[in-house]
Chain A
Amino acid sequence: MRLIAENLGGERGGDAVFSGIGFALEQCQALIVTGPNGSGKSTLLRIIAGLLPAAEGSVRIEGVMKVEDGGEAFPSVASACHYLGHQNAMKPALSVAENLRFWRDFNGDGQLGVEEALETVGLGGIGHLPFGYLSTGQRRRAAIARLLVSHRPLWLLDEPTAGLDKAAEARFAGLMARHCADGGMIVAATHLPLGIEGMELRMGEAG
């Protein structure tokens, strides 16, 4: 399965922020999108997810998952991706476990249950707390746990490590490496080193 972007251009409020972006991402690969603020990293991710229309060019997903992963075919990029944006998509009034259980029911089951996913991101034992009581880093970790409770081959991560401490960053790097090793794909926009191997796409430079 491949994620292919051809000659992508994006605009914000009518002004082009980038153009001519192209890449082909194979299974087990990661693409790290870097660049200064305002270079269009988030816009690129939202265009890939299909949340924003591309000003030019196209993104598509080809092929099926390997047979050992179930041989699943995805009709569109949106159906194949997890999108982790700036916001955590969690309700402060519900407990962490309730939030995750909802996304698991809505998005479909993954390999991990809610409790195991929370253990994996280091939030074991606090699933009963309302999400609103958590600190910034803990909220981000709970949002990362959402990636684990349902299975998607493609992870679109927008500044995934914002607010995480060193240990949590390292743990998250391990999670990303494991996802790639299982045949997944990652597109991450960041300006911090993420600690995983991958192609680099620099935005905001001539060409």
Chain B
Amino acid sequence: MLALFLRDIRLNIRAGGGALTGVIFFLAVIVTIPFGVGPDLKLLARIGPAILWIGALLSCLLGLDRLFQADREDGSLDLLVLGNDRQMLALTVLVKCLAHWAGSVLPLVIAAPLLGLFMNMEPLGIGATALTLLVGTPAITFIGAAGAAVAVALPRGGLLISVLVLPLTIPVLIFGVSASYGATANPDPFLQPFLILAALTLFLGVLGPVSAALALRHGTD
């Protein structure tokens, strides 16, 4: 399993450059917002956490279609499915998700504080948003894995995955943003939405890989 993790990380660094694409897309989304909204610094600071979350969510969806498709094209996916008796397929999927997260999504979380400066956010708000992103984005990857497994056989599955996955990520977005606001706006709580966000990640960390494994096993042809 460690071997699979290392292989996927290595592939991510050497081949796709998926991390950089995601970060640049994230940057593009965040940088255009002030031009659209106008130079109202108070307004920017207020919508900052929400914009960062939406930008990160969209960037997460960007690379999801390659999660299984690359393995399917070169035949590795067949062998991963065949290994089910030794290495449970759901576990294999979980490891692939973690590698994908570490390779493509973690850079977004690291870039988020810098992009928060563009939104005129205060340091506490930036810290809270980065923390909620760190805890919440794995959930998006886990849901995305289920979508990617369903659409693995489709040649242009990227858009379909986004459409399938986006509605399911709404709870993650809601609790992520409300926790980020809770850290700065005083009457709002931080801990409760943050804990629900963590619970969502843990719950989807089981449900996502299991359903993705089911879809992959029945999707081979």
What residue of chain A has the Cβ atom nearest to residue B72's Cβ? A87
A88 / chain B contacts, CB cutoff of 8 Å? 74-75
Q: Mark A51-88, 1 if CB is under 8 A from B, else 0.
A: 11000000000000000000000111011010101111
Q: How far is the CA of A85 from the CA of B84 in the complex (A)?
A: 18
* Residues of A in contact with B (beta carbons under 8 Å apart): 46, 49-52, 74-76, 78-79, 81, 83, 85-94, 98, 101-103, 105-108
Q: Which residues of B contact A85 (CB under 8 A)?
A: 75, 78
Contact present for A50 and B82 (CB under 8 Å): yes
Can you give 11 A-B contacts (C-beta < 8 A)?
A51-B78, A79-B84, A81-B82, A85-B75, A89-B76, A90-B74, A98-B7, A101-B3, A105-B2, A106-B3, A107-B79
**Chain B interface secondary structure, helix, strand, loop or mixed?**
helix
The interface residues of chain A lying within 8 Å CB-to-CB of B86 are: 79, 107-108
Which B residues are CB-close (under 8 A) to A90?
A: 74, 76
Compute how far the CA of A71 lies from the CA of B2 in the bound complex, rounded to whole angstroms. 28
Q: Given the complex, which residues of B lie within 8 Å of A94, measured CB to CB?
A: 7, 10-11, 14
* B14: min CB distance to chain A, Å: 5
Q: Do residues A93 and B11 form an inter-chain contact, with CB atoms below 8 A?
A: yes
Question: Looking at the complex, which one of A49, A50, A89, A101 makes contact with B74 (CB distance below 8 Å)?
Answer: A89
A75:B79 contact, CB within 8 angstroms: no
CB distance from A165 to the nearest CB of B (A): 22
Write the B156-193 contact mask toward A (1 if CB under 8 angstroms, else 0).
00000000000000000000000000000000000000
Closest to A130 in B: B14
Docked Cα-Cα span, A87 to B74, in Å, equals 5
The minimal Cβ–Cβ distance linking A159 to chain B, given in whole angstroms, is 13
Inter-chain pairs besides A94-B10, A98-B7, A106-B4, 4 sampled, C-beta below 8 Å: A78-B83, A86-B75, A105-B2, A106-B87
Chain B positions within 8 Å of A50 at CB level? 82
Secondary structure call for the A interface = loop
Q: Given the complex, which residues of A lie within 8 Å of B73, measured CB to CB?
A: 87
| CB <8 Å contact, A89 and B78 | yes
| Contacting pair B11 A89 (CB below 8 A) | no
Partner of A52, one of B7, B11, B221: B221
Nearest B residue (CB) for A79: B85
B10 touches A51 (CB 8 A): no
What's the least CB distance linking A202 to chain B, in Å? 25
**B74 partner residues in chain A, CB cutoff 8 A:** 87-92
Is there contact, CB below 8 Å, between B82 and A93? no
A102 touches B3 (CB 8 A): yes
Residue of B nearest to A104 (CB): B3
Residues of A within 8 A of B80 (CB): 106
B15 touches A49 (CB 8 A): no
Interface string of B77-105 (1 = CB under 8 A from A): 01111111111000000000000000000
Q: How distant is the Cα of A49 from the Cα of B181 in the complex, in angstroms?
A: 53
Q: Compute how far the CA of A85 lies from the CA of B74 in the bound complex, rounded to whole angstroms.
A: 10
- Knowing A78-B84, A87-B73, say if A103 contacts B11 (CB, 8 Å): no
The reply to whether the CB of B220 lies closer than 8 angstroms to some CB of chain A is: yes
* Nearest CB of chain B from residue A98's CB, rounded to whole Å: 7
